[in-house]
Structure formats: structure tokens, C-alpha cells
Amino acid sequence: MNKPEWLKIKLEYNDKFYEVKDILRNKKLYTVCEEAKCPNINECWSHGTATIMILGDTCTRNCKFCAVKTGNPKGWIDPLEPIHVVETIRHLNLRYVVITMVDRDDLVDGGAFHVYRTILEIRKNFPDIKIEALVGDFQANRNSISLVAKSPLDVFAHNIETVERLTSIVRDPRASYKQSLFVLEHAKNQSSNILTKSSIMVGLGETEEEVIQTMKDLRNVGVDILTIGQYLQPSKRHLSVVEYVPPYKFKWYRDRALEIGFKEVFSGPLVRSSYRADKVFYGEI
């Protein structure tokens, strides 16, 4: 299936792009931009923003949509990673930072304490920066979810990814639709000060009704911010695209989501969960 015109990306490599690349390499940090083959890497890096992926580059899950490497890190963690993240933020002069993670089922807490340490280190060094943490499900461990949700962050994000009917096809068997809803609800209940956020991919064979129901389910557990984007097949071994959803449908989905009660919605063919997250947070879309 050939990509339509609206999915063609204008490459943008400037000095800022290479500056970000060099800083990340120097600090031995990973980004979801590279590991997940995000189509917006040129735009975001050229604007001096990047979503920093902590806990390594190897995920213990094997979701059928995701390009991140899978395997067993066998408990490995870089204890200096929070410091490297802070140094990178300082170099990039960010006003908003997104920290994401690979799933770490090999760790007792799923990596929650490492995420917590990283957030604390960022807040200690940058009292005014906005922090978004895009995290896994921690195997629905209440203590792990609470630890991150009660940390000094601004946005707790966890992606439901797809509609309920397709979850077992799209995601790793250890993930589930109801488990993701639980994570978001439990996080919201831990602090009245944080916003919660989730993301839906379309183009995997879902119906309009199923997308609307997913929106309602997310709002019912208090999710404030929603992003909706087109699924793109990262390689031939991943799930095929069933449909390229036209731009007008994304606008229609955004209108429906706002009617349902989300505070902000970013919906478009190339939108990803962390794409220009600062603009979503500040309502600049």
C-alpha cells in the first residue's frame, strides 16, 4: 500500500539537528525518536527537542507495532543516566522535557525507581521546567505507579495504543487494554496536580465507533490529554497498515474528543504521543 501525499515528510537537517545528535551520543543516551523510527525526528531535533528514553534501548516486551529492540537486559541499569539526562537538558536549554522508557519486566519494580530518580534529578536542577513522563504499565504494580505519579512531574503519560478489540493483536501479551486504563486511573488518583495523557494509533483496522469508545474509556479514568496518529509500519516484520486515515478524519476525531471532555487533543497523520508535547501542554496547537 503506497503512502498518500499527506504522509510525505520534508527532511530538515540544520545545525540544531546535528547539535542534538552530538549531545545525545556524547552522553550515551537513547531517544524514542531514533529507536522507534519516528517520522518527525528531523522536525523535532531541528527545533532542539527530543524525547529521551531511559533504562536502556532494549525492551522486554515485543509489541507488533514497535521498532524498539526487544530482549532481556538482565537487570542492567546505568546509575549515571539521571545525571546525563540533566546535562543534556542543560545543553539543549529545554523548557519542556519528555522522559520515556522501555518496559523492564526484568526489574522487580519495572524500572519505576530509576524513573523517579531521573525526575527528581531534573526537578532539582531545573525548578521551572515542565516534565512529562511517558511510562510503561509496570505490570500494574500499584507501588511503582504511585512512586512515579507522586514524583514532581507535570504530566503522567501512558499509551493505550489501540482499541480494545485489537489490543491482543497489536500489543505484547503482557499488556492489556484494562491494565492500561488501570495505570492511568491509579496515577490520576495519586495527585490532583498532575495531568494524565494517552495516545491512540489508527489505521490498524479499528472502527470509528471503537475509537470513540476508547476516548470515552480514557476520559472515564480521568485522562486529560489525548493524541491520535496514523500507524506506520516500521518494517516488514511488523503489522501491516490496514488503512491510511485521511486528514479530515483526524480533525473529526479531535472534535469528538473535545466534546467528550479532554482538555487538549493533538490529532493528525504524523502525530505521535510525544510529538511537540510542549505545544500540546501549553495549548499552542
Is 197 in contact with 265 (CB distance < 8 Å)? Answer: no
| Region at 222 (left for phi over 0; alpha for psi -120 to 50; beta for the rest) | left
Query: What is the maximum alpha-carbon separation in the chain?
Result: 49
Q: What is the pLDDT of residues 151-193, one digit of tens each?
A: 999 999 999 999 999 999 999 999 999 999 999 999 999 988 8
pLDDT above 90 covers a percentage of the chain that reads 65
Residue 113 corresponds to which cell in the numbers above? 525507581
Task: Print burial letters for 256-278: b (CB count within 10 Å at least 16), e (below 16).
Answer: bbeeeebebbbbbbbbbbbbbbb
**Considering only 100-104, 220-224, 279-283, which range has the smallest mean pLDDT?**
279-283
- Specify the DSSP class assigned to residue 61: -
- Measure CA 48 to chain center: 18
Is 231 in contact with 201 (CB distance < 8 Å)? Answer: yes
Query: Domain residues of the chain, as ranges?
Result: 10-281
Q: What is the pLDDT of residues 215-264, one digit of tens each?
A: 999 999 999 999 999 999 988 889 999 999 999 999 999 999 999 999 99
Among 65, 50, 138, 154, residue whose Cα is nearest residue 102: 138
143 pLDDT more than 80 = yes
pLDDT at 97: 87
What DSSP line would sit under 94-124, residue for residue? -SEEEEEE---TTSTTTTHHHHHHHHHHHHH
Long-range pairs, 80-84, Cβ under 8 A, ≥24? 81/29, 81/54, 81/55, 81/114, 81/118, 82/54, 82/114, 82/117, 82/118, 82/120, 82/121, 82/122, 83/121, 84/27, 84/28, 84/29
- Tell me how far apart the alpha carbons of residues 95 and 156 are, in angstroms, rounded to a whole number: 17
36 pLDDT more than 50 = no
CATH 3.40.50.970 fits 10-281, yes or no: no
Question: Global pTM?
Answer: 0.88
